[in-house]
Chains A and B, each alone.
Chain A
């Protein structure tokens, strides 16, 4: 594959350099909340994930980046079992992911996910989108679910859109609704798969601001993104994926100022210019 093909779309928003006082909420004294051991996955004969190892501690913000097709999405989707792995172990919040449907549902309740394409439910209003899972999965009474939904909409900055339909919102607003929808289940972990890649530059900021606020509130986050400004501001550790493997990992300082692997250097050089 030519190097040029691997380059992600121009996701780097050079203007975005938030000035936040970096402070980690990672609680390394506790047990890891996600443990991935020697994870392998195949699509037919195609070996997508080739032995991934990762431990994530509560409160950590992890940024995953790498060229297109390197398996970032596949990896993150294995963590809430949207994809099934064939070898290795994934343990989330003390529960191992197996074929046991009950375990899968338990884990999905604790793991929120935000998608590149938002995936809001177009037939439900913003408020209904957010309250659906709390009502039907957590079995909360409607009033409680709506109260919390309104608080979340307040938090992501769009309380006035509660009764609109997703189709009537801008991309940035939709993505913020999607974040609120995932947060409404009060998850312990949030997964983000390129949450800003489908957005226009001026909308990227409003979504990233919400994500930074979330990171600073101590949420455990796994974020696939090429927004290096975001990574510098809040990431505790970064993982560089290539061809289904973790080529390099480390703190943002290590990765940006002193990458060890040649492949990482090349890739960073591509996306930082």
Chain B
């Protein structure tokens, strides 16, 4: 029981006029022990700051501009550096567009985002300065466009822009080479794409009919029977994927906008064909020729591994979390074994194993490069932890939610996707973002398997005789970069929580 409160204790406290001197006097100088503490703290602060400031004034900061390019992109070839910039311009555009569409209130963070390219332009020189201004320009164009489309499909376009940003990013960074099979590949791709589009149309327009599935299955079987030839492989892969598409389309045919979506995909087939037949080869030989992943490095590599690590480990983690709660013993056992195995092994070991194991496990013609192997290692590692976090979120959902959904006639899959996962994931946003931040910082460990990420580049800079003794400057800079990105993620997660109203609804 709370002690009885006097009635006048509920009255508002007498208002104090704020005065700086008053606050200092009250909190820092009286009574005597506060005064002593203040003096001691000031002295400590001085003792620490003085050498730091002296060092900062005399530090060889020129090491940073001189090596900025390799710190950012590692050995990425100079003639294609514009492609890295292009990913930033695109990013500026997409972010600007999203801002125009979704951010309606005045936000302080807007000014921070605008300030970033301006600041970076201010501290850089020559073309780099122009490039940064290009980012700003792209963002402004995107913003203006987003504002105009705000009430007309802006949201949908915004989502699509983000969806296509990541393939575009890879395309720009990696470029593409010419397939070895010769010119026939164009026809294979054209036929496969045609199958997919057809599957989508059949699925949406003949949603109730049950026969068309056999078409794709038959194609797959025919293809499988003659696996050796390139055409049969095309039929097999095309048939299987078309079957999947058809199935999904059939199931969601009733959703609003599905028909319009299908028609736009059908229309997109034409430019895709034109690209494949007329633009691909010239581009592959000139502007967009392939840059092997050995040449990717610096901060670019850290961010790339982080982004793709998150993008793939997240769905995989959710699947393992569901698997661990599955009623099918085989799936449950497999999930438990996977999660517990990965969690029992140090990350570095997994990175090494990913480098040496995948080449053994996969057929020799499917060799995958080292960066992809590193990403796979990161994904495998992160997925296990993700699974446990998501499982925690799933466990917090009351049984009544399942029962209400089942009682309405929803299937188990629909219940999971529409009712349970949205709530479970929303509840674990803080934990997941914590894990994403950890993932970002852990990407520095790929140095150990010989990839030139920003830390690897930093080490090679420091072993350069010209820059001996600049460890402090370089590592401080690297630390600052990581802090900026981690803080950005943490800030974004807090805003996301607010937007989704975690803990309020």
Residues of A bordering B, CB below 8 Å = 80, 82, 105, 108-109, 111-113, 115, 117, 119-123, 132-133, 135-137, 139-142, 165-168, 178, 181-182, 185
Contact = CB atoms under 8 A, between A and B. Distances in A.
Interface residues of B, number: 24
B423 A122 contact: yes
B30 interface: no
Interface string B265-289: 0000000000000000000000000
B407 A121 contact: no
24 contacts: A80-B406, A105-B409, A108-B406, A108-B407, A111-B407, A113-B403, A113-B404, A113-B407, A115-B400, A115-B403, A119-B398, A119-B404, A120-B404, A121-B405, A123-B505, A132-B408, A132-B410, A133-B408, A135-B254, A135-B255, A136-B418, A142-B256, A165-B505, A167-B504
A82 B406 contact: yes
A135 B414 CA distance: 12
A168 B501 CA distance: 12
A76 to B, nearest CB: 11
A176 to B, nearest CB: 15
B401 A108 contact: no
B256 to A, nearest CB: 5
B422 interface: yes
Nearest to B419: A121
A141 B254 contact: yes
Given A115-B403, A119-B403, A122-B423, A132 B254 contact: no
A181 B501 CA distance: 23
Nearest to A181: B408
A82 B407 contact: yes
Nearest to B253: A139
Contacts of A136: 410, 414, 418
Contact of B408 (A137, A165, A167): A137
Contacts of B419: 121
Contact of A119 (B400, B410, B411, B501): B400
A137 B411 CA distance: 8
B426 interface: yes
Contacts of A117: 400
Contacts of A185: 408-409
A132 B411 CA distance: 12
Contact of A122 (B408, B411, B414, B505): B505
Contacts of A105: 409, 411
Contacts of B398: 119
A139 B400 contact: no
Interface in B474-505: 501, 504-505
A252 B39 CA distance: 85
Contact of A137 (B255, B404, B409, B501): B409
A109 B407 contact: no
Nearest to B412: A101
A80 B405 CA distance: 12
A202 to B, nearest CB: 24
Contacts of A140: 254
Nearest to B256: A142
A167 B505 CA distance: 5
B409 A133 contact: yes
Interface in B180-224: none
Interface string B380-404: 0000000000000000001011011
A115 to B, nearest CB: 6
A105 B410 CA distance: 8
B404 A108 contact: no
A112 B504 contact: no
Contacts of A135: 254-255
Contacts of A137: 408-410, 414
B254 A139 contact: yes
A189 to B, nearest CB: 12
A225 to B, nearest CB: 18
Contacts of B505: 122-123, 165-168
B408 A108 contact: yes
A141 to B, nearest CB: 7
Contacts of B501: 165
Nearest to A106: B409
Contacts of B255: 135
A105 B409 CA distance: 5
Given A82-B406, A167-B505, 4 more contacts: A82-B403, A137-B414, A141-B254, A165-B501
